[in-house]
Every structure is written in structure tokens, then in C-alpha cells.
Amino acid sequence: MATVGLIGGTGDLGNALAVHLAKKYLVFIGSRSLDKAQSTVNDVLEEKSASSYLQSNLRPAENSQVVTSCDSLILTVPHSNALDTIQSLLTSFRGNQLLISAVAAVGKQDDEFFVDEVPGGGSFAESIRKILPDTVKVAAAFQTVPANVMYKELSISADVPVAADSPDTYSSAASLISDIQGLRPLYVGSLKQANEVERLTALLLNIGKRNALKSPTTKFPSF
Ligand SMILES: NC(=O)c1ccc[n+]([C@@H]2O[C@H](COP(=O)([O-])OP(=O)(O)OC[C@H]3O[C@@H](n4cnc5c(N)ncnc54)[C@H](OP(=O)(O)O)[C@@H]3O)[C@@H](O)[C@H]2O)c1
């Protein structure tokens, strides 16, 4: 069975993706602390009435173990810790892996969300690409996916913009995204576009707040 590892998977988005991906993959919930990862797995099993696929396919691990052992990785840590986290795990990557950054460039001031850029410019995904060896494919995706809706396993129909360092990387990321019911990956182009993808979260959160829309997401109908 193919493996997916969630770096910082103990948070809202990590938990949400884990409950869906465990239907098809062996999923490792990663954390800086093995105890926290174990307690998160226990909580998810309890909240989801220990579904049989979760019991079999959900495992706790330290982030470094996740990075060493998984074919595909999803980075689900706050943007302010994203680059330091990748740097600290650098020696654990074994290569021939896919890393999808779900990191959104979003901050909050007073009652408004804003785009909190990478210091020095560019996107988080491009900065991660520069840190990692070429044998790790890098994509940006999931920034527009609301964790609460996904965790509750409510019916969803959403488009997921994906920026990727090559069409081949896009295909790998799209295949994983398509394995989650209700999500449709859409290719936006190279990692140069990741900036735009990472900015969408602040836009969605402000739209939700100002218009009393619960958990808005992206959908691109065509006519
Ligand atoms: N929540 C959403 O609906 C949503 C939607 C789209 C995109 N995103 C993006 O996805 C990412 C994760 O979102 P989230 O809401 O799941 O975040 P979160 O709950 O705030 O944090 C996720 C995990 O990051 C780890 N973490 C926290 N501080 C850290 C630090 N200083 N260094 C290393 N790791 C640290 C923690 O894991 P441990 O303590 O176990 O190590 C934490 O459980 C963010 O970049 C967010 O912008 C979120």
C-alpha cells in the first residue's frame, strides 16, 4: 500500500486529510512529538468510531520518521514555521518522493485576514523547492480546502488549484487529490504560480467573514 505522511499532521488540516486519505493509503500523522501524534491518532479513532480502515491505515510518527518512510508527503504546518520545518528535516528525505505544500500565506490582524508573504518575496512552495534536493518533487495545493468540512466528511464539491514544478509532478499530486471524494485538481502551472495559490486562503477567509459564508472554497465552472 502506498504511504502518505502528514508533516505537522496533528492540526486541523492534517486530521482532515488523514481521514480521507486513509481510505486508500497508509497514512502517517506526523508531529514533532511522537506522544502528540499518538494522542491525535487516538482522538481521531475515537471521534470516527474507530472505522476499520482508520484502525488499519492510520499511524502516528515523528515528522522525521514520516519524511524518511513515506512516498508522498503533505506539509501542514503554519506558514511561519514552514521553511524552518523543512530545513530541520532535510537530512531525512530519501528522494523519489512527492511533497505537497498546503501552506497558505495567511495572517490575521484585528478582524481581517491578510497575505503574509515569505520574507524576501516569492512563495513558500518555491522556497521549499530551493531547499530540497531535486529528487523530491514539489507542488502547492489544498490551500482552498476547508479542514472542518473535510474532517466532518460533509459532502463537498471543490476545485483544488495546484502549482507544480513540472507536469509530471502535477500528475502525481493530482492523482492523490483525486483520491479524495469531491475534490477536483486543476493545474495552474509552474511553481511560479504558487504565490497566487497561497494567497487564495486569505481571500476565501475574508469573503467568508464579510458575507457570513461558512467555509467557502474554490469552484471553477466552465460554460
Ligand atoms: N485549517 C484549514 O482549514 C486550512 C486550509 C487550507 C490550508 N491550510 C494551511 O495548512 C497549514 C496547516 O493548517 P492547520 O490549521 O492544520 O494548522 P495548525 O493546526 O495551526 O498547525 C498544524 C501543526 O503544525 C505544527 N506546528 C505548530 N507550530 C509549529 C512550529 N513552531 N514548528 C513546527 N511545527 C509546528 C503542530 O504540530 P506538532 O505540535 O504536533 O508538531 C500543529 O499541530 C497552514 O499553513 C494553513 O495555512 C489550512
Q: Is 201 in the pocket of ligand 1 (CB under 6 A)?
A: yes
Residue that is written with C-alpha cell 492510520 in the block: 58
Mean pLDDT computed over every residue of the chain: 97
Residue 176 has pLDDT above 80, yes or no: yes
User: Taking the model in full, what pTM does it have?
Assistant: 0.98
Q: Ligand 1 center to residue 151 CA distance, Å?
A: 15
Atom of ligand 1 nearest to the CA of 146: 3
Q: Is 24 in the pocket of ligand 1 (CB under 6 A)?
A: no
Give the per-residue pLDDT at 117. Answer: 85
Residue 50 has pLDDT above 80, yes or no: no
Give the per-residue pLDDT at 103. Answer: 98
Give the per-residue pLDDT at 47. Answer: 96
Contact 158/183 with Cβ under 8 angstroms?
yes
Pocket test residue of 7, 13, 73 for ligand 1, highest count of atoms within 8 A of CB: 13
Q: Ligand 1 center to residue 172 CA distance, Å?
A: 23
Cα–Cα distance, 164 to 41 (Å, whole number): 30
Q: Reduce the secondary structure of the chain to three states and give it as a string.
A: CCEEEEECCCCHHHHHHHHHHCCCCEEEEEECCHHHHHHHHHHHHHHCCCCHHHHHHEEEEEHHHHHHHCCEEEECCCHHHHHHHHHHHHHHCCCCEEEEECCCCEEEECCEEEECCCCCCCCHHHHHHHHCCCCEEEEECCCCCCHHHHHCCCCCCEEEEEEECCHHHHHHHHHHHHCCCCEEEEEEECHHHHHHHHHHHHHHHHHHHHCCCCCCCCCCCCC
> Ligand 1 atom 37: the closest Cα is on which residue?
8
Cα–Cα distance, 6 to 9 (Å, whole number): 5
User: What is the pLDDT averaged over residues 150-156?
Assistant: 97
Q: Is 129 in the pocket of ligand 1 (CB under 6 A)?
A: no
Give the per-residue pLDDT at 152. Answer: 97
Chain segment 66-124, per-residue pLDDT in tens: 999 999 999 999 999 999 999 999 999 999 999 999 999 999 999 999 999 898 889 99
Q: Ligand 1 center to residue 78 CA distance, Å?
A: 4
Q: Ligand 1 center to residue 143 CA distance, Å?
A: 12
Q: Is 161 in the pocket of ligand 1 (CB under 6 A)?
A: no
Contact 197/180 with Cβ under 8 angstroms?
no
**Looking at the DSSP assignment, which residues form a beta bridge with residue 140?**
101, 163
